[in-house]
Amino acid sequence: MTVTFLLQDRGRVYGAERSVLDLAVALRSRGIDATLLLIRERRLGEIPADVRQAAADAAVPATEIPVAGRLSWGLVRAIRAAAGTGILHSTGDKAAFHAMLARASRRGPVHVSTVHGWLDRPDPKERMLAGLGAFALRRADAVIALSRFYHERLAGAGVPAERLHVIRPGFDAKAPGDWPPPPDGPFTVVLPARLSEEKNPGLLVRAVARARDLGCPVRAVIAGDGRLRARLLADIRSAGLEGQVEVPGHLARRAWLARAHAVALCSRIENQPVVVLEAMAAARPVVATRVGGIPELVEEGATGLLVPDDDPHALAEALIRLARDPAFRARLGTTARARVETLYTPAAMVDAHLALYERLANQA
């Protein structure tokens, strides 16, 4: 069996990229020929080489396919040549649509697509691409949702029920050396996320300002890059929080964990975010918005705290509670780590993918 993963190279290794790489590594450890095809849009100019470097570090063969625009018949031909009649596993709207076109033949690859999230951005071009992605998902041989929330959302979008599957993400909570202890010094919460509308990083700024006004000077690190950076820095200056909120740019996992007593997620919509699993594996409590698939990961009062979407007052109160009660933080973190070790094992995730691949291959 061969499995070809298709995804757009955005430069950085975010949650979707990390999940694809982890699955590819696990499949290769079981003797499966798993490789990566990276869509490289020339219009984006120079981007970081983090994804390609991560693939090289993990010994996963990766091929970059340069494309001139959002849609490319040359990309379709390259996909067919690379995937053959094996399993083609796409991630993202652009990848799903081009995989559908590559599959448009009985001699084409079997198409599986994993949905890590629909962003619902207002940009007309991005909405068009999302529409094409949804069109492709309805025609895929199988669609994987990481949470019950997205399973229901995909069913509502017209993906046939018999092609929909829920496979929890797998995560190696026992990876040695990956989990630094909490830092010394004042309580610090870290938000590791792209600086984009759906991640809503400005919510954390407003919550830190509210906590300060209530007499609890919480420190925050917003670790990420993105188009909201200038606005975020302006909000920090306007609130007088230059000494409390840092925006250092993208940080590797170990770097941001080493600064975190707790981890925040302020998203407006989420699936099963990898940063939450990373925080839980490192025994850090998570305070997150109660949206999407997050409540399936974070158990209120047991592994973390959940707050309403876009509510700075509720988030501030949760941060104050964590800041003032180290013993409570420690209990949440210990329970969180045990939950990851029990429910999100890499072996279960790989077994589920292999069973699906084999069933589809036998039906082709």
Q: Give per-residue pLDDT as tens, 183-202.
A: 999 999 999 999 999 999 99
Check residue 259 and give its pLDDT: 97
Query: pLDDT higher for 15 or 364?
Result: 15
Q: Mind listing the pLDDT tens digit for each residue in 50-67? A: 999 999 999 999 999 999
Q: Choose among 300, 275, 147: nearest CA to 201.
A: 275
Q: Mind listing the pLDDT tens digit for each residue in 350-362? A: 999 999 999 999 9
Q: Mind listing the pLDDT tens digit for each residue in 142-189? A: 999 999 999 999 999 899 999 999 999 988 887 756 789 999 999 999
Arithmetic mean of pLDDT, 221-228: 94
332 in helix, strand or coil? helix
Q: Choose among 254, 325, 251: nearest CA to 287.
A: 325
Strands (E), 146-277: 164-166, 188-192, 219-223, 245-246, 262-265
Query: pLDDT higher for 205 or 46?
Result: 205
Check residue 126 and give its pLDDT: 67
Check residue 171 and give its pLDDT: 87
In this prediction, residue 123 has a pLDDT band, given cuts at 50, 70 and 90, of: low
Domains defined for the chain, CATH in brackets: 2-170+345-363 (3.40.50.2000), 188-343 (3.40.50.2000)
Q: Choose among 65, 103, 62: nearest CA to 84.
A: 103
CA gap 109, 80 in Å, rounded: 7
Q: Mind listing the pLDDT tens digit for each residue in 94-119? A: 999 999 999 986 677 999 999 987 65
Arithmetic mean of pLDDT, 312-319: 98
- In this predicted structure, the answer to whether residue 121 has a pLDDT above a threshold of 60 is no
Please tell me the pTM assigned to this model: 0.84
Query: pLDDT higher for 45 or 16?
Result: 16
DSSP code, position 146: S
Query: pLDDT higher for 131 or 259?
Result: 259
